[in-house]
Amino acid sequence: MKQSRQENLIYLAVWGLLFLAPLISLYVRMASGSGESFDWAEVFMVWRRFAVYLALFLAHNFLLAPLLVCRQRRVAYFSIVVVVIAAFALYQCNSRPQELRRHRPPMEQHQPPMDRRDHQPGRHDPPPFDEPPGGFEGKRPSSDRPRPEMRNRQTPPVIVGERDIMAVIVLMMMFAVNLGIKVYFRSRDDRRRLVELERENLEQQLEYLRYQINPHFFMNTLNNIHALVDIDPAKAQETIVELSKMMRFVLYEGNKQGVPLSRELDFIGHYVALMQLRYTENVRIEMELPSEVPERQIPPLLLITFIENAFKHGISYQQESFIEIKIAVEGDELHFACRNSKADTPNTPLNPPEGGKTGGVGLANVRKRLNLIYGSDYALKVKDAPDVYSVELMIPLKS
């Protein structure tokens, strides 16, 4: 498992402070005026103990912890950790025998009581208790006499001391802290990779949707030009000029994450002007754009799909039709509204795709784009009345 640089720096700083601690402690004691001299032997003794912990930490950090954090082998990890802790406890109990004996209370050695028949004259054995010269009147109380059972009692040898228990607890805490830090950095790296994957997925989906929108838009525009060639060749030439301007915008701006709002509104104006060349006076087209356009960003080719859908399904040559487009900027929000009549015989392309299906791709894609770009920060309302179809969209503008 590849460790992060921050994790290694944390370990290096902690162990560096631990190994500096005995030096700092001696310096403080010398500076306090206690008259104590600098003793490297004491420093090396502390460092030897720290070296054992450091070796166990390195084994846990590079060998044991990855079993649990990366490979999810819980049984193997806890089994090995228990064995390591047991071995450390055994080593700790046997590593300082002289110190253990030095801290044990002295055991009283007593000879077994001698039989009075074996007593030899001239031997000055101490009496079992001191008897004052005045006889039993000056004898001290029985509570002050040393009891034979107290003299014969022996203290059992110390197997596990308090320092041994604390050493094992420190080792367990060291393993737990190391494991917690490793889990934190692993989860942080996982979240970072997840965000990167989501961003890459988002970019791929947006790229896919843009590649779908552009051919879909040009297909309908070329169908309109094809119709104008037969109706009015002069208007068809003007349409080609407008189309070249639109193609320049699509080629150079369509693949960007965002374009200036003014460029997007110019593109919509060219499209509406192109469509007006095709229709007669029976079609009423009204468009209201903001007089002052702020320097904000908007995803390219986002609004044109709704306008294209209005021209495609709301206009007929046989009856009066209308399209109303209104775009306004209110603070940091863009409000878009489009209303169109519903024709009994909509203006479909002259060469529809196989199967007779003529749409649906653009609106479905624009919904996906809105969800991917804005999440829940946008509002889209679509009303499909018997005679009128309307769309209202509110999106935040990016600086």
| Amino acid, single-letter form, for residue 81 | V
Asked whether the beta carbons of 297 and 398 are under 8 A apart, the reply is yes
Could you tell me which residues come within 8 angstroms of residue 244 by beta carbon, excluding any fewer than 6 positions away?
A: none
Amino acid at 66: P
How far apart are alpha carbons 68 and 240 in whole angstroms? 66
CATH superfamily, with its number, for domain 203-396: Histidine kinase-like ATPase, C-terminal domain (3.30.565.10)
Question: In the 8-state DSSP scheme, what is residue 134?
Answer: T
Instruction: Report the distance separating Cα 59 and Cα 380, nearest Å.
Output: 58
CB 293 within 8 A of CB 261: yes
Task: Flag residues of the chain having pLDDT under 70.
Answer: 1-3, 34-35, 96-160, 197, 200-217, 220, 253-255, 277-278, 317, 344-362
Say what the pLDDT of residue 336 is.
Answer: 96
CA distance 233 to 226: 10
Which residue from 185, 203, 206 is spatially nearest to 370, judged by alpha carbons? 206
> From residue 49, how far is each of 17, 52, 99 by CA, in Å?
15, 5, 14
CA 204, 205, 210, 213 torsion-angle sign: positive
Q: Where does the chain show beta strands of DSSP type E?
A: 259-260, 283-288, 297-298, 321-330, 333-341, 379-384, 388-396
Q: Whole-angstrom Cα distance, residue 61 to residue 365?
A: 49
DSSP state of 319: S
Q: What is the pLDDT of residue 4?
A: 74
pLDDT reported for residue 359: 43
* Residue 77, helix vs strand vs coil: helix
Residue type, 327: I
CB 307 within 8 Å of CB 271? yes
- pLDDT confidence of residue 398: 80
Name the DSSP class of 154. Answer: -
Instruction: Look at residue 137 in the predicted model and tell me its pLDDT.
Output: 47
Q: pLDDT of 121-146, one tens digit each?
A: 555 455 554 445 555 444 455 545 55
Tell me the C-alpha distance between 330 and 289, whole Å.
12
* HEC letters along 162-227: HHHHHHHHHHHHHHHHHHHHHHHHHHHHHHHHHHHHHHHHHHHHHHHHHHHHHHHHHHHHHHHHHH
Q: Where are the domains of the chain?
A: 5-101, 203-396
Amino acid at the residue 356: G
Residue 161 identity (one-letter amino acid): G
